[in-house]
């Protein structure tokens, strides 16, 4: 035999069975929705963080660049693209050397451009050149020094422009920079060093 339900006085003064405990439906919905929204927010944040990882500013050390303050370098810097293939323009750690720029990939080493450099000591009358979009480039490979990059120097402009490119990057960055160099800097005659006598 079951126990009888306790009686409770109602508002009209009569007695009857006690109502069953009921939870507010809005409270239940909120209790379920909050953890679900939190999980969705974490997943979305992780996806966006994976697509756009925070990039650290690129630190560039000083290199002799006597013409870095020239009008030619100012014109080139103003016309540089925001992207070079898969590389995007990077912020530089201050104080950054004058007339420098860098581009970063999602992962890996940056591309670095410097304007107003001295003529490369290795650039002489016997040096092989590559012509890309009308710009003559002289390459110095870092392989002999154990560096996994090459530096290319535009040698047919009023100022020397250097672009350091990690090994295996491909031709797109050099092609894009050649376009910017062609537009900003008029072509000038080559001025290589004489070939040293043995």
Give, for all 198 residues of the chain, the pLDDT tens digit: 555 555 555 555 555 555 556 777 766 656 555 555 445 545 444 444 444 456 799 999 999 999 999 999 999 999 999 999 999 999 999 999 999 999 999 999 999 999 999 999 999 999 999 999 999 999 999 998 899 999 999 999 999 999 999 999 999 999 999 999 999 999 999 999 999 876
pTM of the model: 0.72
How many residues does the structure list for the chain?
Answer: 198
Structural domains in the chain, sorted by start: 71-184 (3.40.1000)
Q: What is the CA radius of gyration of the chain?
A: 34
> Residue 104 in contact with residue 88, Cβ under 8 Å?
yes
Strand partners, 100: 114
């Amino acid at each position: 035999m079951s126990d009888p339900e306790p009686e409770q006085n109602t508002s009209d003064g009569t007695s009857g069975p006690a109502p069953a405990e009921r939870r507010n439906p809005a409270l239940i919905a909120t209790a379920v929705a909050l953890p679900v929204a939190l999980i969705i927010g974490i997943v979305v944040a992780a996806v966006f963080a994976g697509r756009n990882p925070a990039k650290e500013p690129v630190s560039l050390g000083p290199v002799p660049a006597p013409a870095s303050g020239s009008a030619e370098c100012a014109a080139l810097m103003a016309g540089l693209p925001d992207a070079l293939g898969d590389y995007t323009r990077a912020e530089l750690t201050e104080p950054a050397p004058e007339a420098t720029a860098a581009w970063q990939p999602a992962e890996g080493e940056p591309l670095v451009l410097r304007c107003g450099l001295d003529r490369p000591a290795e650039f002489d009358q016997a040096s092989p050149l590559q012509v890309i979009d009308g710009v003559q480039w002289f390459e110095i490979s870092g392989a002999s020094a154990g560096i996994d990059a090459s530096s290319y120097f535009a040698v047919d402009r009023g100022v020397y422009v250097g672009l350091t490119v990690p090994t295996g990057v491909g031709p797109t960055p050099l092609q894009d920079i050649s376009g910017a160099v062609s537009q900003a800097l008029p072509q000038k005659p080559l001025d290589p060093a004489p070939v040293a006598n043995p």
